Amino acid sequence: MFRLFFSLSFALGVATAATIITTATCDGVTTTGITDANCDSDGSTANATLGITTLPFGAGVLVTSSPPGSASASANFSGDYVFTVFGGNGGGLFYPCFRANSFGSGVGHGAFDGTSFTFATAQSSSCGVGTVLLVLSNAFTFGVPQIVLFGVGATAATSVSDFESGADVSLIGFFLADTSGNLLPNATFTLVEIPESSSWSSLGIGLAFFLAVPICRVRFRGGFHRRDLR
């Protein structure tokens, strides 16, 4: 039985270099926000939200229109992070595990260190195992930080045929394996957002704190959906 092993240490700088935006459009009028946006006009509603401070990181949108009208929503986040794996020697492979739900025209997106996914079916997942892990995984060296680009996003809209649409997508953890693809039950990781230059001192304090505190391990148990990307 395959299991997903992960733990997380996460720190935010005072100011970050991430791109964060949400939009909601009803009858041609767009509302823009940072972690949330919503609108309501003539029976059309659109809501977009981002949850980016703790694992699971996620984006979600919900759009309704009755009677049929014009409404849409989007939520997008991307930023650079320092990703470090602990719990062994030498190197290995990591593979991001995203999960998503969508209906109507809803579409979710997830990307991590050059590996990207699009989810356009209900209860989709990137949590593949076996050959999928080996083909799409990236390399790491234990204890060596690496800078990765991470992002999540979701979009949805209503139309004459879709009275309601929505999507949500989240990064819930990683498969961590040796170079042969064997999962590493004792491996852990930290994921720290890179702040702007003015906040490097804050990041240094945060890193020192996390290195001084033992890293706990959380095990996720449960079935995984087959890789279903469209």
User: Does 93 fall in a domain?
Assistant: yes
How confident is the model over 72-111, as pLDDT tens digits? Answer: 999 999 999 999 999 999 999 998 999 999 998 899 999 9
Domain count, the chain: 1
Question: Taking Cα atoms as reference points, which of 129, 130, 107 lies closest to residue 120?
Answer: 107
Q: pTM of the entire structure?
A: 0.73
Torsion of Cα atoms, 219 then 132 then 171 then 199, to 10°: 100
How confident is the model over 173-208, as pLDDT tens digits? Answer: 888 999 888 888 899 999 888 875 544 444 454 444
- Range of the structural domain that residue 150 is part of: 4-220
- Alpha carbons within 13 angstroms on the beta-carbon side of residue 66 total 4
Asked if 186 and 202 count as a contact pair (C-beta separation under 8 A), the reply is: no
pLDDT at 12: 34
User: Does 228 fall in a domain?
Assistant: no
User: Does 229 fall in a domain?
Assistant: no
User: Does 191 fall in a domain?
Assistant: yes
